C-alpha cells in the first residue's frame, strides 16, 4: 500500500461531532466511522446492481470482524444510526447495502490532491474540519463474507479460499499473484465472478511450483 496515497485521501470530521447524540456511545461512534471508511468513493457494480458513492455492502459479521465489536454490538449500533437518520439500508438479494446520509460532508468529491490536507481546510459551509487519514488508498466495495486483498484492495477472498491457496502455494507466491491480479483489475476495469478461481488459473498457467513440488526438490 502506497503511503503517499494514504496521506492524500482523508475524511472530514466536524468539531460539532462532539455534540452528536451518539458521540459518547463508543460502539455507535466506531461503527459510524467504520462505515465512512468503507463506503465507496465512486460507484461500483456488484452482481448486476450498482453500489453508489457513500454506500457499502456489508454484513454484521464483516463489520464485527473488522471493528473488533461483537455482532450484537454492531447490530445495536446500526439500529442507533438508522433511528437518527445517519445511515439507511437497502437489500440486494440477501445482502444489505448501507448508505451514509450526507456522505459528501465527510468525503469530498474532489480529485486527490498532490498536497497533504491540513486542519485549516474547510468545506463550503465554513465549519472547521479535522482530517483523518483513510486506512485504504481506494475504499472499495465489500463483498459479504469476503475480505479485500491486494495493492488496491479489490481482490476478494474468503478466509477459507485464502487458506486453500496457502496450503498449495508458498505465501510469497500467493501474495505476489494477489497483487498482480489486483493491479490488473484496477488498470483494466475487468470484473470476475470468483477471484479465487482467477488466482488458481493464473498460477497454474504460469506453472508456479507448489509446496509439494518444492519439498520434493529439496529431498532430491
Which phi-psi region, left, alpha or beta, contains residue 68 (left: φ > 0; alpha: ψ -120 to 50)? Answer: left
Give the model's pLDDT for residue 47: 73
pLDDT at 220: 55
pLDDT of residue 164: 94
pLDDT of residue 217: 62
Helical residues (DSSP H) of 60-170, grouped into ranges:
60-67, 71-83, 159-168
The confidence score (pLDDT) of residue 111 equals: 46
Kind of pairing between the strands at 129-133 and 147-149: unpaired
104: Cβ contacts below 8 Å, ≥ 6 apart: 54
Cβ of 52: how many Cβ atoms within 10 Å? 14
Of 140, 179, 181, give the one whose Cα is nearest residue 45. Answer: 140
- For position 124, what pLDDT does the model report? 41
82's CB contacts (< 8 A; 6+ apart) are: 88, 89
Residue 153 has what DSSP assignment?
T
What residue spans define the domains of the chain?
3-133, 147-219
Q: Which CATH number fits domain 3-133: 1.10.10.10, 2.40.128.20, 1.25.40.10, 3.30.360.10?
A: 1.10.10.10
- For residue 127, the model assigns a pLDDT of 41
Residue 133: which H helix or E strand, with range? strand 129-133
Low-confidence ranges of the chain (pLDDT < 70): 1-11, 108-145, 216-220
Q: Quote the cell numbers at residue 160.
A: 477459507
Amino acid at each position: 500500500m502506497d503511503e503517499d496515497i494514504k496521506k492524500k485521501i482523508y475524511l472530514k470530521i466536524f468539531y460539532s461531532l462532539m455534540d452528536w447524540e451518539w458521540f459518547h456511545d463508543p460502539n455507535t461512534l466506531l461503527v459510524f466511522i467504520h462505515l465512512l471508511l468503507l463506503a465507496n468513493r465512486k460507484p461500483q457494480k456488484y452482481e448486476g446492481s450498482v453500489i453508489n458513492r457513500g454506500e457499502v455492502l456489508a454484513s454484521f459479521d464483516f463489520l464485527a470482524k473488522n471493528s473488533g465489536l461483537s455482532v450484537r454490538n454492531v447490530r445495536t449500533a446500526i439500529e442507533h444510526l438508522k433511528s437518527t437518520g445517519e445511515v439507511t439500508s437497502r437489500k440486494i438479494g440477501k445482502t444489505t447495502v448501507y448508505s451514509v446520509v450526507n456522505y459528501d460532508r465527510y468525503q469530498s468529491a474532489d480529485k486527490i490532491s498532490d498536497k497533504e490536507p491540513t486542519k485549516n481546510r474547510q468545506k463550503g459551509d465554513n465549519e472547521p474540519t479535522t482530517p483523518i487519514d483513510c486506512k485504504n488508498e481506494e475504499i472499495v466495495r465489500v463483498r459479504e463474507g469476503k475480505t479485500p486483498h491486494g495493492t488496491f484492495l479489490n481482490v476478494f477472498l474468503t478466509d477459507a479460499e485464502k487458506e486453500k491457496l496457502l496450503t498449495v502455494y508458498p505465501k510469497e507466491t500467493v501474495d505476489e499473484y494477489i497483487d498482480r491480479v489486483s493491479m490488473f483489475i484496477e488498470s483494466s476495469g475487468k470484473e470476475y465472478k470468483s477471484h479465487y478461481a482467477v488466482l488458481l488459473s493464473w498460477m497454474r498457467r504460469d506453472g508456479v511450483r507448489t509446496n509439494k513440488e518444492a519439498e520434493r526438490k529439496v529431498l532430491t
